[in-house]
């Protein structure tokens, strides 16, 4: 942590970083030029961050768990099946869905930058964009997953998928045990973002 | 056709109250989220296609990685946004630099 963090208890405003100043300047210019209403970017960010978030993806996963025919369509043509639920948009072209099973575990990364299926997962978390993750998940995936708290047995095959701008990946996690009688909406509430990247499993209601 | 953000907002008005365990934040600093929002707005306004932004970002990240530069993801993202603003003639780089100099001398504290 930076020295500035020690200041947190005080009321002195932290000086803005050069990037923050630059961002502020650009924003002021865009507002002046009539290209940006002052609250628009906040609204977009809030929508992606809080509302879309991984919720859309969770709905897709729950539908696939409840409806085997939908699941087949989803695995065959991710983008089209996801569009059936009304989700699509930028970074959502040619979404590819890969299924986790007791024998195969899939995990997704983007080694080049941060390609990620926005329409279903919202914006990528900080760690997804880090050099550490981008470099290490390919070289030592089991070690990285263990750091996430996911220790895969050696007999489980591990597949790492490198998302590209043309093809962002979504993981269909395994349906957890102990969910008999749960509705699709209740199931969706169990599905986490990390499980749809492949960095975690979905835990049952008692997990 | 509804804009990207309208469409997303409409989606979110569904049963959005489902609890989500989201873990880490997506942004480290407020300016990062604003830069992201600006990039989406300019794309929606047709200044560039999102693919162009993405391609430029890939190139920027790759060259920064190659130089072992310590810059963060959003610092690189910001550079791409600026470059595209100049390329699409929204403004020239002098205009941006001038404004940065002014703000640096007299920053207000609303960030």
Residues of A in contact with B81 (CB under 8 A): 26
CATH number at residue A89: 3.90.330.10
At residue B18, the pLDDT reads 23
In chain B, % of residues over pLDDT 90? 32
Answer yes or no: is B67 within a domain: yes
Say yes or no: A93 and A143 in one domain: yes
* Least Cα separation, residue A204 to chain B (angstroms): 14
H-state helical runs in B13-92: 30-44, 50-66, 73-87
- Kindly report, residue by residue over A135-153, the tens digit of the pLDDT: 899 999 999 999 999 999 9
- A11 vs A131, higher pLDDT: A131
Residues A74, A165 contacting (CB under 8 angstroms)? no
Q: How many CB atoms lie within 10 A of CB B91?
A: 19
Q: Tally the domains of chain B.
A: 1
Q: What is the ipTM of this complex?
A: 0.77
Quote the domain boundaries for residue A127: 54-197
* B5 inside domain: no
Assigned domain for A8 exists: no
Do residue A81 and residue A28 come from a single domain? no
Tens of pLDDT along A150-182? 999 999 999 999 988 778 999 999 999 999 899
pTM of the complete model beyond 0.95 = no
| A169 plus A136 within the same structural domain | yes
* Residue A134 vs residues A54, A112, A144: alpha-carbon distances, Å: 20, 8, 11
d(CA B81, CA B87): 10
Contact A14, A1 (CB under 8 A): no
**Residues A116, A86 within the same domain:** yes
The answer to whether residues A114 and A37 belong to one domain is: no
A125 and A71 together in one domain = yes
Give yes or no: A109 in active site. Answer: no
What's the CA gap between B87 and B55, in Å, rounded? 14
Whether A42 and A64 share a structural domain: no
Determine whether the interchain pair B42/A54 forms a contact, defined as Cβ–Cβ distance below 8 Å.
Answer: no
Indicate whether A68 and A110 sit together in one domain.
yes
Whole-number pLDDT of residue A118: 82
**B59/A contact by beta carbon, under 8 A:** no
- What residues are paired with A99 via a beta bridge? A172
């Amino acid at each position: 942590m930076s020295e500035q963090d020690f200041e947190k208890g005080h009321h002195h405003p932290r000086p803005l970083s050069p990037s923050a100043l630059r961002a502020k300047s650009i924003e002021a210019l865009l507002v002046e030029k009539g290209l940006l209403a002052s609250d628009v970017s906040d609204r977009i960010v809030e929508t992606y961050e809080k509302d879309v978030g991984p919720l859309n993806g969770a709905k897709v996963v729950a539908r696939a768990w409840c409806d085997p025919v939908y699941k087949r369509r989803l695995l065959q043509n991710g983008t089209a099946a996801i569009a059936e639920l009304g989700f699509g948009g930028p970074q959502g072209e040619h979404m590819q869905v890969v299924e986790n099973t007791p024998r195969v575990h899939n995990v997704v990364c983007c080694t080049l930058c941060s390609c990620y299926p926005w329409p279903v997962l919202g914006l990528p978390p900080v760690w997804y964009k880090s050099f550490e993750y981008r470099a290490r998940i390919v070289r030592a995936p089991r070690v990285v997953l263990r750091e996430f708290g996911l220790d895969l047995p050696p007999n489980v095959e591990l597949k790492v998928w490198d998302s590209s701008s043309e093809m962002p990946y979504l993981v269909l996690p395994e349906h957890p045990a102990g969910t008999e009688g749960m509705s699709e909406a209740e199931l969706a509430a169990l599905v986490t973002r990390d499980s749809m990247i492949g960095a975690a499993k979905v835990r049952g209601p008692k997990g | 056709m509804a804009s990207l953000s309208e469409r997303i907002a409409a989606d979110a008005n569904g049963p959005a109250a489902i609890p989500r365990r989201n873990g880490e934040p997506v942004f480290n600093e407020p300016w990062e989220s604003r830069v992201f929002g600006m990039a989406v707005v300019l794309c929606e306004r047709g200044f560039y296609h999102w693919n162009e932004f993405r391609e430029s970002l890939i190139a920027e990240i790759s060259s920064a990685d190659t130089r072992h530069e310590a810059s963060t993801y959003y610092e690189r993202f910001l550079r791409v946004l600026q470059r595209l603003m100049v390329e699409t003639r929204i403004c020239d780089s002098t205009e941006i630099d001038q404004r940065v100099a002014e703000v640096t001398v007299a920053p207000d504290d609303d960030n």
